[in-house]
A and B are shown apart, each in its own frame.
Chain A
Amino acid sequence: MNLLLKIWRQQDANSKGKLVDYNVTGISPDSSFLEMLDVLNEQLVDKGEEPVVFDHDCREGICGMCSLFINGEAHGPDKGITTCQLHMRMFNDGDTIYIEPFRAAAMPVIKDLVVDRTGMDRIQQAGGYISVNTSGNTQDANALPIPKADADASFDAATCIGCGACIATCKNASAMLFLSAKVSQFALLPQGKVEAADRVKNMVRVMDEEGFGNCTNTGACEVECPKGISLDNIARMNREYLSAALAD
């Protein structure tokens, strides 16, 4: 396959970026989207030019490192996958493909297609945990039975990979789906209950401080989430937040 790529190039956080045209040739339809970029980069290095920098690591759809807005969609045109799982057979020979970073004020560009997602970490640090020491003195795991339905629902929320597609897709750049996934995971488990009120308040506070926008229930996040995290989590989070606020 031969393709025309229009790729966002930006030297660093303080520079102005722009779309630059690249032609790549001889791409196998069986290669992944990132392998296609590998081929481009190999060609750029051969010419002595700086390769396009993009985030990637496991290339199995689980580490959440890869990002990319492809033709206006987070993780590209296929559904339920990350960019590393997107394959070139989804495109046609001769296509023009726009490749841009995940854009949000709270996720500034570091270089080219790489953005700073550490704001998501700081939201987690504000309460995305259960306060238990790793002492080895915890009670036996089966001393705390959990209904299977609750455990399964908690697991479904916990599958969030923290890629940021929800934020990049949201017109308000809200981190609500991401945040609500963590809140839900713990809200559904008995061991998370004790500090539930503080957790949700603190996490929401930091989300606002970081400059992520608010949720207006358009649902684009759910559509683009590679792991199918449900909007129900946002509803649950709102209930948690409301009851925590009322208790104050």
Chain B
Amino acid sequence: MSKLDSKIPEGPIKDKWTNHKNHINVVNPANKRLIDVIVVGTGLAGGAASASLAEMGYNVKAFAYQDSPRRAHSIAAQGGINAAKNYQNDGDSDYRLFYDTVKGGDYRAREANVYRLAEVSGSIIDQCVAQGVPFARDYGGLLDNRSFGGVLVSRTFYAKGQTGQQLLLGAYSAMNRQIAKGKIAMYNRHEMLDVVVVDGKARGIIARDLITGKLERHSAHAVVIASGGYGNVFFLSTNAMGSNATAAWKIHKKGAYFANPCYTQIHPTCIPRSGDHQSKLTLMSESLRNDGRIWVPKHMKDVEAIRKGTKKPTDLSEDERDYYLERRYPAFGNLVPRDVASRAAKERCDAGYGVNATGEAVYLDFASAIIRYGKEKAHVTGLHNPTQEKIIELGKAVIESKYGNLFQMYEKIVDENPYETPMMIYPAVHYTMGGIWVDYNLQTTIPGCYAAGEANFSDHGANRLGASALMQGLADGYFVLPYTIGDYLAAEIRTGEIPTDLPEFVAAEKDVRDRIQTLMNIKGTKSVDHFHKRLGKVMWDKVGMARNEKGLKEAMDEIKQIREEFWKDVKIPGSAEAMNTELEKAGRVADFLELGELFAVDALHRNESCGGHFREESQTEEGEALRNDKDFAYVAAWEYTGNPREAKLHKEELTFNDIELKQRSYK
């Protein structure tokens, strides 16, 4: 089995990437035509990589489970993308972006990768503008910026609340140009169900055509996995319904190490679950916390009255409310980072102060912002002694101009007017920072198999700051992978086309076919969703935002139990040789049932509180998260051994030469 070598280049951090690029092997253009690359997933990372590799001259085969690359879940990102452009002249630099990202990741990211990310961030903006991405601009015609939590400069580029959509459409259009030229063969509605390894190298995949149900063999000289994150292991998350871990999990089973699976970002401002019918959670942009104040009632009798409907939140006076973030964190108040805000909300709800029927909601209140903005507006417009009604009217107009689309979205889902009554919010699973372990070249522990974007273990560490996921996806796809993959492919120019009738292809296809047949033959009594929901509940209750040893051990057993029941009792109607969405889900949930257990194993071994992950055994006297750098400053990379519980731990020690490790405090 492969050795864990991060391949971080020598030299000072600011020169590493340049030196590395200068010494990387280059494939001559005529030879690139002889080389095929498979890209699984066509979101920001996969789409950008497909377009870039095809432009360079490689033959690309791209796979997406949707009907079009334009629908990848990158499209749902709202807020923005970071870049160290220093257009606002507020002192931003590559170093500052690097520093903020490492700190925001709670010192669990690889320094060299994060520096490279910061270094190429500016080129991303240039590239996207050249592609016609309509970023927000100011009246001078130059690009506008806004600021996000956790940083002190204004470095976030945005396109209203649809930044992800516009960036993805940029990558999609770059792909379309190459599809039209015949350099990308696009396989829509296809799902990768296994990787084929020949002589220790990734040489292709087995894919299922989701319309016909037919299995297909596709060969290539290298395989890139860019299939996104695994947040749907929780069943309820902000991820798209189809987002799955299958591609990542299949390569894990074939030898790719899976790193830091327990690193999941919990986002504090989502619309709460309203009942058991719910299929997914909707995120409300973090920007709302700039103006909203978060509270729950101070007295239990008021909580009960609100739940019964005999009192409204607006009936409670200021001193009957507990503004718990302002109380606990006077310095940062409502603008503490995502992990701190999420944990604090859960703490209040666990104590019984949740304000909706399920007891899992806190208020996000804009009343004082409305008054404040209203008064300001009255001043500006020369309105003396305005009535309270006039102030509120003016204030609402200001709030509408800032957050109108979010307020409307909330009203559609919850059926309450957030201008009149406080919003209800609760934390939800959002982005996964664990994933397939890769070296500096984004190569996994399987030679010739690469991972990009959210699918890899990411440059962000334990807790990601806002607006950096889009940055990483595009950096990997446009500016990192196209260089680093050449280092490997330079040795492949004489390989020739890889035949798909090799015994390894035959065997992999048979394994996939057998697995599908096994699933179809169970003919049990319970639906796939039944098992997925049960898994999700265990994950949220015991492996979610706050964990302890006892709960994690229970979770491991419970997940194993659910998995065993699944393989005995799942019911999948229809046929395997046709479009069958239940079969698709079954395969994905089967993988989640293994991944979930590894997730718990990883959380159990990491006996420190870190970023969004609170181990109850590791906290300060005030109940804050306590990191343990002495024992846990490493990446946990797990090797599959046939059973998730017995996965073998490999450690990549993290060394910090350019940044001093500090405890985070927001008091």
Contacts and interface: CB of A to CB of B under 8 A. Distances in A.
Interface residues of A, number: 79
A130 B282 contact: no
A9 to B, nearest CB: 13
Contact of A158 (B138, B166, B177, B280): B166
B652 to A, nearest CB: 28
B550 interface: no
Contact of B75 (A46, A63, A130, A145): A63
B357 to A, nearest CB: 10
Name A's interface SS: loop
A132 B67 CA distance: 25
Nearest to B123: A136
B524 to A, nearest CB: 11
Nearest to A154: B134
B160 interface: yes
Contacts of B574: 50
A179 to B, nearest CB: 13
A135 B134 CA distance: 20
Interface string A206-234: 00000000000000000000000000000
B332 interface: no
B571 A138 contact: no
Contact of A59 (B48, B55, B280): B280
Contact of A63 (B52, B71, B132, B166): B71
Interface string A109-149: 01100101110110011101111111110111110111110
A63 B67 CA distance: 11
B137 A38 contact: no
B177 A53 contact: no
A42 B527 contact: yes
Interface stretch (A29-37, A96-104, A239-247): A29-37
B582 A45 contact: yes
A162 interface: yes
A47 B581 CA distance: 16
Contacts of B135: 141, 151
Residue among A124, A126, A162 having the largest count of chain B Cβ atoms under 10 Å: A124
22 contacts: A27-B277, A42-B529, A46-B527, A46-B571, A51-B581, A53-B579, A55-B67, A59-B241, A59-B279, A59-B280, A59-B282, A60-B76, A63-B240, A117-B68, A129-B173, A130-B131, A136-B478, A138-B126, A146-B141, A158-B169, A185-B134, A189-B132
Interface of B: 48, 51-52, 55, 66-68, 70-71, 73, 75-76, 85, 87, 120, 123, 125-132, 134-143, 159-160, 162, 165-166, 169, 172-174, 176-177, 179-180, 186, 188, 211, 240-242, 274-275, 277-280, 282-283, 409, 412-413, 415, 478-479, 482, 527, 529, 571, 573-574, 578-579, 581-582
List the 8 closest A-B pairs by CB distance, nearest first: A145-B141, A129-B173, A155-B134, A141-B129, A138-B130, A31-B277, A154-B134, A57-B240
Given A51-B573, A118-B67, 16 more contacts: A34-B279, A45-B582, A46-B571, A51-B582, A53-B579, A57-B66, A58-B71, A62-B76, A64-B70, A110-B579, A111-B579, A129-B177, A145-B141, A154-B134, A158-B169, A186-B132
